[in-house]
Structure 1
Amino acid sequence: MALFKRRTVGKPGEWFYCLRHQTVEEGPECRAADRFGPYATREEAAHAMDTARERNLEWETDPKWHDMGKGGKGGPGDADGA
């Protein structure tokens, strides 16, 4: 008996963006490693790459993730950065 049931048929209303084919899919058509989602609407899935770009930019410019002190010390949880 399998631990996880593999879904082969998509659920109506679940939208994904396939990175390999660069298309929007309803339900999981391509393998999980090749897609973003699920999204609530087709429109959200169509803008998946824009959303990912925005989130990456937020992370890259977030000072709490870039508080390394001199000599490579510091980081989240290190109050004095030394």
Structure 2
Amino acid sequence: MAALFRRKATGRPGEWYYCLKHRVVEEGPECPAKDRLGPYATRTEAEHAIDTAHERNAEWRTDPRWNDEEADPGAGADRGGSP
């Protein structure tokens, strides 16, 4: 018996994704969005998705626009909510 309602894929063929759950590259979305990185323009970019994510995280950790503690050393002193 066929399903009455089918989930529509959110991507298109030619878009590449990296599935975090299965640790594989997919063309077009096969797994839910919560389990994948992408889309990427090429299969090779998707294959390196984890490396790209690690590199971006390292850049963001050292970016002064996202690192308030370096900009204001005293800002972390009262983060506990107490005056």
User: TM (normalized to structure 2)?
Assistant: 0.71
Cα RMSD over matched residues? 2.0
Aligned to 1:53: 54
How many equivalent pairs are there? 68
Structure with greater helix percent:
2
Amino acid at match of 2:13: P
| Structure 1 moving runs of 4+ over 3 Å | none
Cα distance in structure 2, aligned partners of 1:9 and 1:60:
31
Say which of 63, 67, 70 aligns to 2:74.
70
Structure 1: stretches of 5+ with no match in the other structure: 1-5, 74-82
Is residue 24 of structure 2 the alignment partner of residue 23 of structure 1?
Answer: yes
Call closer, same or farther: CA 1:53–1:9 in 2, change over 3 Å: closer
User: TM (normalized to structure 1)?
Assistant: 0.72
How far did 1:50 drift? 0.6
Structure 2: stretches of 5+ with no match in the other structure: 1-6, 78-83
